[in-house]
Amino acid sequence: MFPNRNFRRRALAALGIASLPAFAAGGLPAIPFAEEFFPELQLLLDQAATAAAEPRLGALRVEERAGDLEVARSQRRPSVRLHARLLGSYEVREDIDDTLRGLANVNLTVTQPLYQWGNLERQQRIAEQRLFLESLEQGRLTRQHRMQLRRTYLAWLHHKQRRAILEQSVALAESLAAARRQLAEAGQLAEQEALELEARLLETREGLAHTERVILDLETTLQRLVGPAFRPERLHGHPLDTIEPMPEQDFAALGKAVNAMTADAADPALLRLSVLESIEQQQLDILARRNWPMFDLVSGVYTDRLDAVNQDRSIFRTQYYAGLQINWNIFDGWQTAGLKRSALARKRALAVHREAAEQEWRQRARNLLAELALNRTQLDARGKRQQLLARRLELLREQAGGSRITATELMQGEIDYQDARQRLLEARIQYLNNLMELGVLLGVDPPPPGPPDAP
């Protein structure tokens, strides 16, 4: 069960909140998420929304709270109880013959709460707010699950490309090492250079084996996040070069919008603490009336079997009754006072947590903005470095053709270039991860697929 729009409006109205902060409407530039660059990831996210364990467990927890709400609502409705007893008795007496008779009594009672000082309504509001809390928690866990899936998929792409690069490096190192080994055996090359190439080949092979292991672990994580139907062999992968930073103008607008939001708005996730505070206040109001008299309307019918006066047979008697029932917990040994003290302490603690969490959220948004600025600088610098090392490698290959440099120098040039490629890919992934995290923090991440809210 998913709370619809009407339910969300009622829950927010109970807190005195008109609506959740609409961040996207404040001139915030569109924040791209990984699925916009990699359509294959969107398919995994859609599949995980219905097949993975975490989203399904979250939906069941919401359903559990919906059941609690039905229980709270039922407390305000009439209740009907039936008590029946059918017995057989065998009576032995000295003055008369033994007697076998049947005993029967039936009591049917209808109880309608009349006046509980508003406590039943408060219990229902608490149940509604707890259901709303569970829907918030489900949304938080869903966003967390989707972000973990995005990060894992990007890491899988990265290591797939790293494996391809290392395979090229191993092939190059093997060819160079074999050629230099023959020259060394023929006495045309110093043995030291051949040994250096052999050592680099072993190191590259080790890196390739490690990358293979990491890919296997990432595919296992993807299967857990997507669901049992996930098959890694069906993934095709896409080049990470498609990740490009947003234009400078858009990034400047993003910074202004985030700074304005952190100054004027509150984290949507902090609504959870506000709801918990409201629940504790409702509990305090209930406890304030716990020792007051509670009034119920009671009606019913009672039937039993009696021995007839001056007769040897029994007769049925029926009584009809209706009236007012009062339940009054006059003194409970100051138990209520202790419960009030605990509830008040919890409410005050929630207020402290909310203030600290709000400050932490503001600082986290600013830190992510600073991280993104650093990522953009890294992307620019590492992109230029890759271009320079690519040109250097071209020159080294030309010199190696003329035997003007050693194979070790050529191999080192290849390693430097491939390392620059890896560092640029890492910078692209880190930039996109930080950008997505900022989007999640501001509540503008794409929602998972699902049935539309009821009108």
Q: Please list, in sequence order, all residues whose beta carbon lies within 8 angstroms of the beta carbon of residue 311, skipping any fewer than 6 positions away.
A: none
Token look-up 């792409």 returns 157
Query: Is the pLDDT at 58 greater than 60, yes or no?
Result: yes
| Residues in a beta bridge with 296 | 113, 325
- Tell me the domain boundaries of the chain: 5-441
Query: Which CATH number is 5-441 given?
Result: 1.20.1600.10
pLDDT at residue 53, rounded to an integer: 86
Structural contact between residues 392 and 418, judged by C-beta atoms closer than 8 angstroms: no
Query: Is the pLDDT at 172 greater than 60, yes or no?
Result: yes
Torsion angle, CA of 213/214/216/221, rounded to 10 degrees?
A: 150
Query: Is the pLDDT at 293 greater than 90, yes or no?
Result: yes
Report the pLDDT averaged over residues 137-156.
92
Q: Please list, in sequence order, all residues whose beta carbon lies within 8 angstroms of the beta carbon of residue 394, skipping any fewer than 6 positions away.
A: none
pLDDT at residue 455, rounded to an integer: 30
pLDDT at residue 189, rounded to an integer: 63
Strand 99-115 to 79-91 pairing: antiparallel
Per-residue confidence at 25, pLDDT binned at 50, 70, 90?
very low
Report the pLDDT averaged over residues 436-454.
72
pLDDT at residue 280, rounded to an integer: 92
pLDDT at residue 454, rounded to an integer: 34
Q: What is the mean pLDDT of the chain?
A: 83
Q: What percent of the chain has pLDDT over 70?
A: 83
- CA-only gyration radius of the chain, Å: 37
Query: Is the pLDDT at 265 greater than 80, yes or no?
Result: no
Per-residue model confidence as pLDDT tens digits over 405-436: 777 788 888 888 988 999 999 999 999 999 99
Report the pLDDT averaged over residues 321-336.
90
Query: Is the pLDDT at 146 greater than 60, yes or no?
Result: yes
pTM: 0.78
